[in-house]
Amino acid sequence: MALRFFNTYSRTIEEFQPLDPAGRAVKMYTCGPTVYSHAHIGNFRAYIFEDLLQRHLEARGYTVERVMNLTDVDDKTIRGSRAANLALGEFTAPFKEAFFEDVETLQIERADAFPAATEERFVAAMIAMIEKLIARELAYQAEDKSVYYRINRFPKYGHLAHFDLAELRSTGRVKSDEYDKEHVGDFALWKAWDEEDGDVWWESPWGRGRPGWHIECSAMATALLGEQIDIHCGGVDNIFPHHEAEIAQSEGCSGKTFVLYWMHCAHLLVDGQKMSKSLGNFHTLRDVLEKGYSGREVRYALIRVHYRAPLNFTWEGMDEARQALGRIDEWLRRLGESAAAATEAPEIEDDKFSEALDDDLNISAALGHLFEQIRESNRELDRGIEPARARAWLNWWERINRVLAFAAVEEETPAEIQQLAEERTQARLAKNWQKSDELRDAIQAQGWAVRDTKEGQVVTRRAGA
RNA sequence: GGCGGGGUAGCCAAGUGGUAAGGUCGGGGUCUGCAAAACCUCUAUUCGCGGGUUCGAUUCCCGCCCCCGCCUCCA
């Protein structure tokens, strides 16, 4: 079955066909974080969805070139840097660093490029684009010195969000600068400097100022991937106005279709509600890790629901993730043990996992199949499996895990734990059950677990420890 | 008001015009000194509600209800 994705632009599921005539290279642009604070788990739901998409495309033989931008200049970063009494770059640098650490923790593949909005070459690219839009009368400088996009001159404006311009109504989030605009819906391409901006400004043909948010993505996507890209992702809240604006800007300059497939993931809810600091349900990745959960557990919890369905984050869900991963770990441990003596490995012909993902990333069906296979192979293990067969199952898993990235990080059992385990073995040989149980408790207290099997003790890292 | 997404077991969730995957929790069992793990087994006569089409609908059509989101810088 061919790859099929839901395209927000057409609101239908479409067969995936990249621009590349050879049908192999895929250009992907993903909206990244605004680095004014630590990214929260809702942000990471989107990045993990994008990661799943990239990894599955790669599993299907595509070569993905992905760009993720970092917004390091906007109202929030400027406000934050002023509050912290730091230069803008000094203020955003630690958040950029933290973001990359979090990406690593969650096993999200690094994009090929992480352009930042303040890089001179991109500011120059943004200015060049705005000049072009003005030349084409798609933009104008208003009384307030800012430059705005003239949405009435771009007939497709509103198509992505399915908004009728006449229906747009103010929600009170607009600044009072709308008096200067020709249409309330006109959005800023270049924002004229004002006192609130402090020393954050660039010279431009329209005077000192800074780029609008939307132009950043159009310019960086074009600079790094070209005028046309295959897939552009983000959260549903980016559909309007951000992605709508990107289309207007990019196509206003190039005259070509900017993006073939628009893909958006639904929101993450926490305890059934939108995350907000006032409700106390706002979590960064760091908050969740502090509660004792691992990055892979968070990854599992955030990836397991289809990207277009709202995902409700709960601690119960985190525990469910822990259990499910523990089962996978134990399955792999048993397979590894049985496969040790294998000299060859026949292939297990089973592509159902990937076939499920072909269907608009149906992760639930894919995981359902994985667990069915785990049960099947566990039965084989119980019956006594051939080493080659165990090796074949491991190879099958490795293919799948290149997409899921669920495997635990290998960790050496520390010497003191090994020592305790050895003492316990002796106690057990002496049938000293009391001492055996005490040693088990001691091992568990140090974050490890010990189980007795027919082949003797098995020591593993305890989940959450 | 306009535009989306979603309503399937205690919780999470897939799915099909032909009678409900999977995960997790809980009960029972095999195994075990105990435990753990694994396996076996049980847990939705039913898919938000009401109509309609059909031999047959959770799935298609119509109407309604509820939840979440977007409607100018939130992933």
Q: Where do the domains of chain A lie?
A: 19-265, 285-404, 415-461
What would the 3-class secondary structure string for A17-37 be? Answer: CCCCCCCCEEEEEECCCECCC
A123 CB and strand B closer than 7 A:
no
Nearest residue to A220 via CA among A77, A35, A63, A29: A29
Structure tokens at A85: 């009494």
Mean pLDDT of the A74-78 span: 92
Beta strand A259-265 with A268-270 is unpaired
pLDDT at A78: 94
Q: How many CB atoms lie within 10 A of CB A422?
A: 12
Task: Report the alpha-carbon distance of residue A383 to residue A378 in Å, rounded.
Answer: 9
Tell me chain A's radius of gyration from C-alpha atoms: 26
Q: Is the CB of A371 under 7 A from strand B?
A: yes
Query: What pLDDT shows up at residue A272?
Result: 77
Topology given in CATH for the domain delimited by A19-265: Rossmann fold (3.40.50)
Q: Cis link prior to A346 (omega < 30° from 0)?
A: no
* pLDDT for residue A1: 57
Q: Look at residue A176 in the predicted model and tell me its pLDDT.
A: 43
Cα–Cα distance between A315 and A228 in angstroms, integer? 42
C-alpha A396/C-alpha A443 separation (Å) is: 33
More confident residue, A341 or A231: A231
- Chain segment A359-374, per-residue pLDDT in tens: 999 999 999 999 999 9
Positions of strand B less than 7 angstroms from a protein CB: 1-7, 10-15, 21-25, 32-40, 67-75
Position A198 scores a pLDDT of 92
Query: In the complex, which nucleotide's C1' lies nearest to the CA atom of residue A333?
Result: B37
Please name the nucleotide lying closest to A319, CA to C1'.
Answer: B24
pLDDT, residue A342, reads: 87
Please say if the pLDDT value at position A175 is more than 50: no
Whether the pLDDT of residue A170 is over 60: the answer is: no
Strand B lies under 7 A from the Cβ of residue A372: yes
- Mean pLDDT in chain A? 90
pLDDT band at A172 (very low <50, low <70, confident <90, very high): very low
Model confidence band, residue A91 (pLDDT cutoffs 50, 70, 90): very high
Provide the pLDDT confidence category of residue A173 given band limits of 50, 70 and 90: very low
Q: Confidence class of residue A166 from pLDDT cuts 50, 70 and 90?
A: low
User: Which of residues 27-56 of A have CB within 7 Å of strand B?
Assistant: 31, 33-34, 39, 42-43, 45-46
Q: Is A116 helix (H, G, I), strand (E, B) or coil?
A: strand
pLDDT at A209 over 70: yes
Confidence at A464, pLDDT banded by 50, 70, 90: low
**Average pLDDT of A225-247?**
93
Summarize pLDDT for A399-444 with one digit per residue, the tens.
999 999 998 777 788 888 888 999 999 899 888 898 998 998 888 8
Residue A463 has pLDDT above 70, yes or no: yes
